Amino acid sequence: MSGPAETKSALVRSRFFPESFKQGLREKDFHDLDVSQGAGCAGVDYPDLIAGRWRFILYWRTLPWDHVPGALLASEAGAQVARLDGTPFRAHASQVGLLIAPDDELWADARRRFPAL
């Protein structure tokens, strides 16, 4: 399997995005990526990122039971797990938007692809 830096696939779970964010996404260029909705299960998506399937993952809704285990696994594997404003993921926070990438450089590259909040 190719490593994370080589993959051209990204997982963008847009189901809960507000319409304004969706509109901003339509204005962005994702021509170099195969953007997917993924398995629909964070318990599958996080290990797939660690295994190199995804260049990054973006979730909007971040319920603790969906993201605490995966965020821990990803962090321990060296991934960058942070809110869209760059703050670390905290389960008790009520913020939306969570971006996960295999490293800091890929996280920053992914963040530039999304509209400002």
The average confidence (pLDDT) of the chain is 85
Q: Give the integer Cα–Cα distance in Å for 1 and 83.
A: 28
**Distance from C-alpha of 11 to C-alpha of 33, rounded to nearest angstrom:** 10
The tens digit of pLDDT for each residue in 13-23 reads: 878 888 888 88
- Is the model's pLDDT at 72 over the cut of 90? yes
Tokens for 13? 């779970």
Which residues have CB under 8 Å from 27's CB, separation 6+?
115
Mean pLDDT, range 46-69, rounded to an integer: 92
Secondary structure (3-state) at 11: strand
The H or E element that residue 74 is part of is helix 64-76
For residue 30, is pLDDT > 60? yes
Domains of the chain, residue spans:
9-91
* Structure-token match 């760059």, residue found: 86
Using CA atoms, how far residue 45 sits from 16, 23, 65, in Å, is 17, 25, 14
Strands in 57-59's sheet, in edge-to-edge order, are: 34-36, 9-13, 57-59, 98-101, 80-82
| Model confidence band, residue 31 (pLDDT cutoffs 50, 70, 90) | low
Q: Are 106 and 55 within 8 A, CB to CB?
A: yes
pLDDT for residue 99: 95
Q: What's the pLDDT at 1?
A: 34
